[in-house]
Structure 1
Amino acid sequence: MLAHKAEEEGIAVAKLIAGQSGHVNYDVIPGVIYTSPEVASVGKTEEQLKEFKKSIK
């Protein structure tokens, strides 16, 4: 999902150039591995949530 990431980074750079605060939240950008079958993910892993002591549903 490179296009999603590139779009968010482009918006952040444009905001920085305009003197505003640019930020990219990489936790909400989907990730994909193009294999057979394809694998996709969004958000933090179970291990990452445990590090932040967040509850898992």
Structure 2
Amino acid sequence: MNAELQSLGRRLVGRWTTEATHPALPGTVLSGSSQVEWLEGERFLIHRIQYHHPDIPASS
């Protein structure tokens, strides 16, 4: 595996709690989670985001 990709993965792989705003929902703070994981034997990274609001679709 590429050393730069390994280094990037070590910093990104994991799960985090997130907060965001969106211009279509002024005054609303969106809470959610963000998860990055390895795919295909650590050759690719996938980033999944989930916000807990009915107007924001999940990225899964």
TM band (smaller chain): under 0.3
With the length of structure 2 as denominator, give the TM-score of the two structures: 0.26
* Structure showing the higher helix proportion among its residues: 1
With the length of structure 1 as denominator, give the TM-score of the two structures: 0.27
* Structure showing the higher strand proportion among its residues: 2
